[in-house]
Amino acid sequence: MLDKEKYKVKGTIQLTDFNTKEVIEKSKKKLKKIRKKLSEIQDTMYAEGKYSMLICLQGMDTSGKDSLIREVFKDVNARGVEVHSFKVPTELELKHDFLWRHYIALPAKGKIGVFNRTHYENVLVTRVHPEYVFGENIPTINTLEDINDAFFHERMERINNFEKHIADNGTIVLKFFLNLSKDEQKNRLLRRLNLPDKNWKFSAGDLKERKLWDKYQFCYEDLLNRTSKENAPWFIIPADDKPTARFILADIVLEELEKYNFKEPTLPAKIQDQVAAFKTQLNNE
């Protein structure tokens, strides 16, 4: 059994205390077994229709978010998983508050929603590039001096309130930071350049953001410390070894879902009393 608590953010942490690489033997084989269980439990969760689950994925470029989603949820009924990748806000989205586009993308009861990049981009990318906030046209924001630490800390509190609200209404919230080393990111970027069929994944912008690595790490550490709550915990997943990262995340998700002991609904008594008659009617057609 995994010691899942060692990945969970509790109290005040430092990112440097968490490994970026961990190798668990037979991770692919173990993940395959978990996928089957996830499929079964999500079917029951869908039938019961009381809870939903929101899985938030954050990580530096090349941390493996896309492939992780594919490999972890490939056996779950397509009806039961919804994936949203949040890019640069559209003109319509900028006309609403920063949480609006995330709220309308939340999973319905019975479903698992995956946010590939999340509402935390609003206290991460915008903190590294505060000029982006001007696009939101906030009445109280006039200069860069207005977009200070207090601004982002207040925004984090709004996120905490948002997550508590949806948790109180039946959404199970799990958040995962894919903790990638700078050396491994370099290797993955080079792979994209060296392999013709991977070239399309490369963006020159990745190199520009890479130069801001330390600033991103600071922002991640701050948001992890301020927004990991019992109703919406953060887990720091070592991401240098992809099979291991996928297995750890899937195991945490499965264990959380199993806590709820979902039950398939039973037929109303009036219908149950007529089951024999219904069978007879169908057999006599």
pLDDT band at 239 (very low <50, low <70, confident <90, very high): very high
pLDDT band at 274 (very low <50, low <70, confident <90, very high): confident
Average pLDDT of span 118-145: 97
Q: Is the dihedral of CA 162, 167, 171, 176 positive or negative?
A: positive
Residue 99 token pair? 């949480």
Q: What is the pTM of this model?
A: 0.94
At 1 the pLDDT is 64
pLDDT in tens, 37-88: 999 999 999 999 999 999 999 999 999 999 999 999 999 999 999 999 999 9
pLDDT band at 268 (very low <50, low <70, confident <90, very high): confident
For the chain, what's the residue count? Answer: 285
Percent of the chain surpassing pLDDT 70: 100
Q: Is residue 171 classed as helix, strand or coil in its secondary structure?
A: strand
Kindly tell me if the per-residue pLDDT of 203 is higher than 90: no
d(CA 43, CA 58): 27
Residue 47 token pair? 């039938």
Average pLDDT of span 241-266: 96
Average pLDDT of span 153-173: 98
Q: Are 213 and 63 in contact (CB under 8 A)?
A: no
Average pLDDT of span 178-192: 97
Residue 257 token pair? 């879902």
More confident site: 282 or 146: 146
d(CA 64, CA 70): 10
At 111 the pLDDT is 98
d(CA 158, CA 148): 16
Average pLDDT of span 195-200: 90
Question: Considering the chain, what is the average pLDDT of its residues?
Answer: 96
